[in-house]
Amino acid sequence: MPRLLLIFFLFISVIHAHAQQVTYSKEQIIAITPEWKGDRLPDGRPHVPDALLKRLSNISLEEAWGILRGKGYNNQFEGDWMLLRPEQTITGRALTVQYLPKRPDYDNLIREKGKSEKRIGNFNSWPIDMLKPGDIYVADSYGKIVDGTLIGDNLGNSIYSKSKNGVIFYGSVRDIEGLEKIEGFTAWMKGYDPSYIQEMMLGGINIPIRIGRATVLPGDAVLAKKGGVVFIPAPLVEEVVLNAEFIALRDQFGHQRLREGKYTPGEIDQQWTDVIKNDFLKWLNQNPDKLPMSRQELDEFMKKRTW
C-alpha cells in the first residue's frame, strides 16, 4: 500500500508540475514506468540494452504484436505510414514529443520556460538537443501535413548525428530529397509537404503520447519495419525477444522435420510429445549456430514455457 500511495502522489505531482515545465523530470518518468527494474538513462527513461535492441530488429511485427496482445497490451501498433527507406528496419528507445494546435497563452508559457532552461532555436529542435545514441524521436503532431513539417534536412542531419537513428512522426517532414541524402537516416511519417511549420506548439517532451492507435511512454522500445511500428513497454522487451526467438527456432526445427517426413503436420502443430521435445533438444545441440540467444537464456526460458 505505501508503494501505491507513493506512485499516486508522484502522478499528482506530474499533473501539477507539467504546466510549468517543458519535459517531465527524472522522478516523474520513473513514476510512470515503475515496472522497469533495470538501468535508466540520465533523464529517467528505461535503458533497454543495445544488445537486446539489436536482437529485436530480427523479430517480425506479427510476433511482437502477438506477444503483446497476449499480455493485454492491445494498443501498441500503428500502420499506414509513408517511409523514407522502405527496406530499412530500426529499433531504439523512444524519446516522446507531443505537439498541439497553437494556443497563444500556453505557447507563450512553454516558450518562456524554454528560454529559462536555455533551450535554443524553435521548439521543434528542442527534443533533438536531448537525443542520445540509440534514441528515436517519436512525435505526435496530430497528423498535420500542410504547415506541420517537423523537420527538414538540417534538423535531420542533427538528429542522425546525435542518435544514429531515425524518426517516427505522426505528422510530416519537408526537404525530403535532402533527408534521403543522409546516409543511415530514415523516417516513418504520415506525409510530406514543402511548407514550414506554422500554427503549432510544443505540448511536452518525454510524456505519454498517442501515435495513431498506439499509446507510447518515454523509453518504450521501438520496432519499426516496412509494415508499421510496434511500441514495446521496456519491461516486456526481453520477454518479447525471447518468445519470438524461441518460436523461430521451433519453426525451423518443425519445417526441417516436415521436409524430412519424420513427423506429420498434425504432430508438429499440436503440443509436442516428449519424443518430439527430446528430438528438438538434440537438434539444438547439433545446431548451436542457429541460436540467437545464449544457451543459458534458452534453457531458463524453456523451463518456464509449456510447449
pLDDT per residue of the chain (307 residues) written in tens, 0 to 9? 455 544 554 554 444 444 458 999 999 999 999 999 999 999 999 999 999 999 999 999 999 999 999 999 999 999 999 999 999 999 999 999 999 999 999 999 999 999 999 999 999 999 999 999 999 999 999 999 999 999 999 999 999 999 999 999 999 999 999 999 999 999 999 999 999 999 999 999 999 999 999 999 999 999 999 999 999 999 999 999 999 999 989 999 999 999 999 999 999 999 999 999 999 999 999 999 999 999 998 888 888 776 6
**Bridge partners (DSSP) listed for residue 167:** 137, 187
Q: Are residues 206 and 107 in the same domain?
A: yes
Q: Are residues 253 and 299 in the same domain?
A: yes
Other CB atoms within a 10 A radius of the CB of residue 122 amount to 13
Q: Are residues 213 and 254 in the same domain?
A: no
- Alpha helix positions (H), 71-141: 104-116, 126-130
Q: Among 184, 212, 232, which residue terminates a domain?
A: 232
- For residues 298 and 37, give the distance between their C-alpha atoms in angstroms, rounded to a whole number: 21
Q: Are residues 47 and 174 in the same domain?
A: yes
The angle at the Cα of 35, spanning 29 to 36, to the nearest 5 degrees, equals 70
Give me the CATH number covering residue 216. 3.50.30.40
- Alpha helix positions (H), the chain: 2-18, 26-32, 50-56, 61-70, 104-116, 126-130, 153-163, 176-180, 237-260, 265-269, 274-286, 295-304
Q: Are residues 295 and 170 in the same domain?
A: no
Q: What is the pLDDT of residue 4?
A: 53
Q: Among 232, 251, 275, which residue terminates a domain?
A: 232
Q: Nearest-CA neighbor of 148 among 185, 199, 103, 111?
A: 199
Q: Are residues 203 and 253 in the same domain?
A: no
Q: Are residues 273 and 134 in the same domain?
A: no
Q: Among 178, 210, 232, which residue terminates a domain?
A: 232
Q: What is the pLDDT of residue 2?
A: 53
Q: What is the pLDDT of residue 132?
A: 97
Residue 78 lies in a domain: yes
Q: What is the pLDDT of residue 20?
A: 55
Other CB atoms within a 10 A radius of the CB of residue 186 amount to 22
Q: Which domain holds residue 89?
A: 38-232
Retrieve residue 62's grid coordinates. 506479427
Residue 174 lies in a domain: yes
Q: Are residues 143 and 246 in the same domain?
A: no
Ramachandran angles phi, psi of 99, nearest 5°: -115, 150
Secondary structure element (H or E) that encloses residue 201, with its range = strand 200-205
Residue 101 lies in a domain: yes
Residue 138 lies in a domain: yes
Q: HSE-up of 282 (CA within 13 Å, CB side)?
A: 7
- Residues 251/269, Cβ–Cβ less than 8 Å: no
Total tally of structural domains belonging to the chain: 2
- Residues 189/23, Cβ–Cβ less than 8 Å: no
Residue 9 lies in a domain: no
CA distances from 116 to 96, 125, 168, 204, 223 (A): 21, 16, 28, 16, 35
Q: Are residues 201 and 273 in the same domain?
A: no
- Residues 131/159, Cβ–Cβ less than 8 Å: yes
- For residues 141 and 143, give the distance between their C-alpha atoms in angstroms, rounded to a whole number: 6
